[in-house]
């Protein structure tokens, strides 16, 4: 059993978590849900014993008040931090990772252990890629490998910070099958944060976070039933209500039919209770000025191989000015490889590629087009020893944007994308979603 009592976490002058209280029984899956910066990661880090906190945590009759005291139960904890592949080493293969984590934990490598390891690999669909290096894996494959490495020692307390973020739907199903089977077989307490509301139904109990506080907790069924009276299917323009996509949230009775609520409804109702104003985006467009007949990118039978494995084979695509092209597919389907070929970061094995009427065969061909390209990779290409503001000013200087103009752009994007209060923070201390926002801002600065 796990009990968390009056847990409070502070970062400098900011209170990330305030008086968190909850209990988790053996075999339960507990979900932490909330917006970026709501305090989920701070709570998980405190429970995992990796940051200082106030209050007390009781795990199986052992009480700890600090990371030092938590060391005594670390052998029972499996902790996977937020971020794709953070616990992995790029130069090691999948098999080498498994051997490495087996050795550092001094695990008993008997027949039963290897069968368990093989079972995890099979469930994750990684058994065919044992000799592939981590830096050659897709984001979803990295997350699945990270989870397996975290679970190798069969922890009794499993703490996972957004393990499914950036993972395709099929891989998310595989991850959840592993987690549910693990909880059932080993009676593991699992505490999982997620950005996907649809995963809430897979959890036994949910804690919804907002600005460091839990605004609701219970099973998804109970939470939805509690808010059903406040959700309507009629659009209202009154300031006392919130209307989103033909659904109205109101604390007062309305003369109209009720709408089926979702967990997102909890956040809108909480905003009403606190008299919060929802952010409004003003979108301007130059659609009328765009010549839609201009071909921006053209790919003709482009192919990329890694040994005998085809990451992309005979891909044909044409993209015109003003269009948005979506690349959909499971992790490992070749999306990232295709993008890297477009950017000249990976050479083509065959085929032809044109960007802005220029043939691209290598990174050298791409250099002259840098001023016309913005790129956000799966792994943020930002500097951890510089603040968000310093990062953005640095990239602005690379693109030779005047200082005054750069400052105005940075402030404008920070306000629109909601990371104003993080401008003077270090990227490594920020939630994944916030890093994604300012990475996007960096990519479009020029």
Q: Residue 262's pLDDT band (boundaries 50, 70, 90)?
A: confident
- Report pLDDT for 286: 56
Phi, psi of 383 (to 5 degrees): -100, 120
d(CA 175, CA 172): 5
Structural tokens at position 336:
């990232």
Quote the pLDDT of residue 41: 92
Q: What percent of the chain has pLDDT over 70?
A: 94
Q: How many residues does the chain have?
A: 446
Q: What domains does the chain contain, in order, with CATH numbers? A: 2-214 (3.40.50.300), 219-273 (no CATH), 281-373 (3.40.50.300), 374-446 (no CATH)
Q: What is the mean pLDDT of residues 135-143?
A: 85
User: Which pLDDT does position 287 carry in this prediction?
Assistant: 56
| Nearest C-alpha neighbor of 266 from the set 204, 193, 337, 214 | 214
Residue 298 predicted with pLDDT over 60: yes
Please tell me the distance from the alpha carbon of residue 407 to that of residue 137, in angstroms, as a whole number.
37
Residue 204 has a pLDDT of 93
Answer for the pair 351, 322: CB distance below 8 angstroms, yes or no.
no
When pLDDT is cut at 50, 70 and 90, the band that residue 10 belongs to is very high
pLDDT score of 336: 85
Computed over every residue of the chain, the mean pLDDT equals: 86
> From residue 24, how far is each of 4, 58, 145, 404 by CA, in Å?
9, 11, 26, 52
Please name which of 148, 157, 199, 185 lies closest in space to residue 70, comparing C-alpha atoms.
157
pLDDT at residue 290 in the model: 63
The CA angle 288-292-293, to the nearest 5 degrees, is 145
- pLDDT on residue 260: 87
Query: 274-287, pLDDT tens digit by residue?
Result: 776 555 555 555 55
Considering only 109-113, 139-143, 281-285, 430-434, which range has the smallest mean pLDDT? 281-285
pLDDT surpassing 70 at residue 237: no
CA atoms of 157 and 201, how far apart (whole Å): 21
**Where does the pLDDT of residue 46 fall: very low under 50, low under 70, confident under 90, or very high at 90 and above?**
very high
CA distance 363 to 52: 45
What local confidence, expressed as pLDDT, does residue 431 receive?
77
What's the rounded mean pLDDT across residues 298-316? 89
Residue 239 reports pLDDT greater than 80: no
Token match 């269009």: residue?
Answer: 323
pLDDT tens for residues 351-401?
988 888 888 776 777 777 777 888 887 766 678 889 999 999 998 998 899
pLDDT band at 101 (very low <50, low <70, confident <90, very high): very high
Determine what percent of the chain is predicted with pLDDT higher than 90: 39
What pLDDT, in 10s, does the model give residues 12-44? 778 899 999 999 999 999 999 988 888 999 999
């Amino acid at each position: 059993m796990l009990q968390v009592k009056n847990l409070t976490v502070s970062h400098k002058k900011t209170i990330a978590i305030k008086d968190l209280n909850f209990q988790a029984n053996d075999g339960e899956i507990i979900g932490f849900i909330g917006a970026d910066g709501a305090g989920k990661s701070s709570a998980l880090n405190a429970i995992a014993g990796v940051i200082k906190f106030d209050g007390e945590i009781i795990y199986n009759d052992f009480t700890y008040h600090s990371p030092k005291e938590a060391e005594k139960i670390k052998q029972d904890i499996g902790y996977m931090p937020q971020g794709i592949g953070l616990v992995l080493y790029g130069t090691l293969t999948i098999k080498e990772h498994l051997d490495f984590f087996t050795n550092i934990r001094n695990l008993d490598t008997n027949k039963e252990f290897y069968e368990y390891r093989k079972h995890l690999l099979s469930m994750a669909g990684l058994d065919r890629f044992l000799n592939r290096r981590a830096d050659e894996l897709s984001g979803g494959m990295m997350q699945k490998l990270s989870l397996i490495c975290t679970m190798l020692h069969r922890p009794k307390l499993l703490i996972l910070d957004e393990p499914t973020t950036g993972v395709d739907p099929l891989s998310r199903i595989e991850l959840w099958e592993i987690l549910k089977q693990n909880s059932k077989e080993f009676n593991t307490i699992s505490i999982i944060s997620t950005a996907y509301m649809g995963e809430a139904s897979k959890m036994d109990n949910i804690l919804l976070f907002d600005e460091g506080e839990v605004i609701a907790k219970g099973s998804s069924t109970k939470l939805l039933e509690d808010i059903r009276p406040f959700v309507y299917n009629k659009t209202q323009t009154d300031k006392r209500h919130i209307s989103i996509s033909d659904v109205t949230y109101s604390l007062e009775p309305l003369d109209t039919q009720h709408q089926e609520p979702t967990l997102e409804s909890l956040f809108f109702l909480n905003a009403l209770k606190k008299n919060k104003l929802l952010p409004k985006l003003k979108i301007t467009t130059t659609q009328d000025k765009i010549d839609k007949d201009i071909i921006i990118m053209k790919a003709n039978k482009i192919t990329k191989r890694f040994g005998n494995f085809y990451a992309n084979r005979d891909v044909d695509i044409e993209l015109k000015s003003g269009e948005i092209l979506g690349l959909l597919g499971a992790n490992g389907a070749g999306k990232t490889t295709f993008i890297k070929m477009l950017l000249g970061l990976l050479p083509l094995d065959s085929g032809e590629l044109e960007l802005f009427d220029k043939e691209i065969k290598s990174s050298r061909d791409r250099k002259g087009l840098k001023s016309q390209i913005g790129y956000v990779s799966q792994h943020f290409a930002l500097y951890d020893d510089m603040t968000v503001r310093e990062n953005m000013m640095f990239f602005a200087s690379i693109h030779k944007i005047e200082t005054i103009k750069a400052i105005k752009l940075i402030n404008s994007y920070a306000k629109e994308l909601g990371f104003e209060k993080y401008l003077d923070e270090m990227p490594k201390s920020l939630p994944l979603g916030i890093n994604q926002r300012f990475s996007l801002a960096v990519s479009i600065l020029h």
